[in-house]
């Protein structure tokens, strides 16, 4: 069965991905990374973009919900993600969110609050009612850190937790906690545990998101090794839907520092080159609560829109982030579409 799945996956890898095999070595790529040779890395990523399929950029408007453990009348509350330290605004029941059409039928992202523990039963209850109300939505939610907390905090078997989440309606596990791959000294988990949880998720029938931190203080060699471990796991399970190069964004503007932009572009290109068995390399933006995402937090910072335009030239082929909705959020859907087409790319929803 595994051999058959690998054959199917191999047949669905675009030819321009396969063409890179044999032309580069890991030693050469690591050398280019350590030299910050964006010209060479960009050229390798451009080999992918020159293929007609490489013109398409996947963008599906996604509703971001934050799950909180308060129950009022047995109804789990949700709200929009907000700036760190700020009380969530616009809290509502899942039913109210759907009734007001705050959630599109295509994709949902559910995030557990990092500060308030969410019981597993509340997460399952929320997923069931979201699934009933939006039966065709792709629901991505929670993270390896949440699985680990439920496993040891509630003394539940890992496989049982993942199976219950899938039955409740979850399609994919988020990539949160990926700092474990490059800076385990600053993460809740170590790299082996993070990878083991994602392996178990894939075995349970869930997809998941890979991630690589770009500005965590780790060396290029450590990040390169992390990408290789992600590739090896994907080769084993075929469960990663995409990989997201992650960097810190200014909480008000969504801007990134110039040094962080260099790292984002570099590791976007390297992720596209190395992860030839992962379909999408996605750029995501979060923590843009007030709609000022097209401004700069200082004269030296690079706006969110400029960052999107840059990463699309370095191998990114999917975009996702907090959209401006109901007076909250960051970029509008139209602004994202304009950004994609301004680079000569085509918006794809599949």
Q: Which single residue is written with the structure tokens 């013109």?
A: 55
Q: For residues 38 and 214, give the distance between their C-alpha atoms in angstroms, rounded to a whole number.
A: 14
pLDDT value of residue 149: 93
pLDDT value of residue 324: 65
Q: For residues 257 and 248, give the distance between their C-alpha atoms in angstroms, rounded to a whole number.
A: 9
- Judge whether 1 lies within some domain: no
| Predicted confidence pLDDT, tens digits, the chain (350 residues) | 444 444 444 454 455 555 555 556 778 888 888 888 888 888 887 776 555 556 889 988 777 666 665 543 444 555 444 434 344 444 455 666 666 555 555 788 887 766 667 889 888 988 888 888 788 889 998 999 999 999 999 999 999 999 999 999 999 999 988 989 998 888 889 999 999 999 999 999 999 999 998 877 889 999 999 999 999 999 999 999 999 988 765 544 455 666 678 888 899 999 998 898 898 999 877 533 333 334 334 333 457 788 888 888 898 999 887 676 544 556 778 888 998 999 888 998 76
Burial class from Cβ neighbours inside 10 Å (0-12, 13-18, 19+) for residue 295 reads middle
Selection from 255, 258, 178 nearest residue 216 by Cα: 178
- Judge whether 8 lies within some domain: no
Structural domain harbouring 282: 19-348
Whether this model's pTM surpasses 0.75:
yes
Residues in the chain: 350
pLDDT value of residue 276: 85
Crossing angle of helices 220-237 and 258-274, rounded to 10°: 40
Q: What is the CATH number of the domain that holds 144?
A: 3.20.20.70
pLDDT value of residue 53: 55
Q: How many domains does the chain have?
A: 1
pLDDT value of residue 96: 61
- Judge whether 7 lies within some domain: no
- Judge whether 114 lies within some domain: yes
pLDDT value of residue 341: 92
- Judge whether 5 lies within some domain: no
Q: End-to-end distance of the chain based on CA atoms, in angstroms?
A: 26
Q: Which single residue is written with the structure tokens 């051999």?
A: 3
pLDDT value of residue 260: 76
pLDDT value of residue 10: 46
Strands 107-112 and 138-141: parallel
Burial class from Cβ neighbours inside 10 Å (0-12, 13-18, 19+) for residue 1 reads exposed
- Judge whether 13 lies within some domain: no
């Amino acid at each position: 069965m595994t051999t058959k799945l690998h054959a199917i996956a191999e047949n669905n890898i675009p030819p321009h991905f396969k063409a890179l095999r044999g032309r580069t070595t890991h030693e050469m790529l690591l050398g280019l990374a350590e030299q910050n040779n964006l010209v060479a890395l960009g050229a390798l990523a451009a080999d992918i973009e020159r293929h007609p399929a490489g013109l398409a950029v996947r963008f599906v408007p996604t509703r971001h919900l934050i799950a909180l453990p308060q129950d009022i009348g047995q109804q789990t509350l949700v709200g929009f993600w907000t700036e760190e330290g700020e009380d969530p605004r616009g809290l509502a029941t899942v039913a109210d969110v759907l009734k007001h059409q705050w959630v599109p039928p295509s994709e949902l992202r559910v995030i557990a609050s990092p500060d308030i523990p969410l019981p597993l039963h509340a997460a399952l209850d929320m997923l069931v009612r979201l699934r009933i109300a939006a039966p065709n939505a792709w629901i991505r939610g929670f993270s390896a850190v949440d699985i680990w907390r439920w496993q040891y905090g509630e003394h539940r078997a890992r496989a049982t937790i993942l199976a219950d989440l899938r039955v409740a309606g979850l399609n994919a596990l988020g990539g949160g906690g990926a700092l474990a791959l490059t800076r385990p000294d600053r993460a809740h988990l170590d790299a082996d545990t993070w990878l083991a949880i994602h392996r178990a998720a894939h075995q349970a029938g869930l997809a998941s998101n890979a991630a690589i931190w770009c500005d965590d203080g780790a060396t290029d060699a450590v990040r390169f090794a992390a990408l290789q471990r992600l590739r090896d796991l994907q080769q084993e399970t075929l469960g990663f839907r995409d990989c997201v190069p992650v960097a810190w964004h200014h909480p008000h503007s969504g801007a990134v520092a110039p040094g962080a932009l260099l790292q984002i572009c570099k590791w976007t290109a390297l992720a596209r080159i190395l992860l030839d068995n992962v379909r999408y390399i996605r750029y995501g933006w979060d923590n843009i609560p007030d709609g000022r995402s097209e401004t700069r937090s200082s004269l030296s910072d690079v706006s969110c829109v400029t960052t999107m335009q840059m990463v699309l030239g370095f191998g990114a082929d999917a975009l996702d982030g907090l959209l401006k909705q109901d007076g909250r959020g960051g970029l509008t859907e139209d602004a994202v579409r304009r950004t994609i087409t301004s680079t000569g790319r085509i918006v794809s929803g599949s």
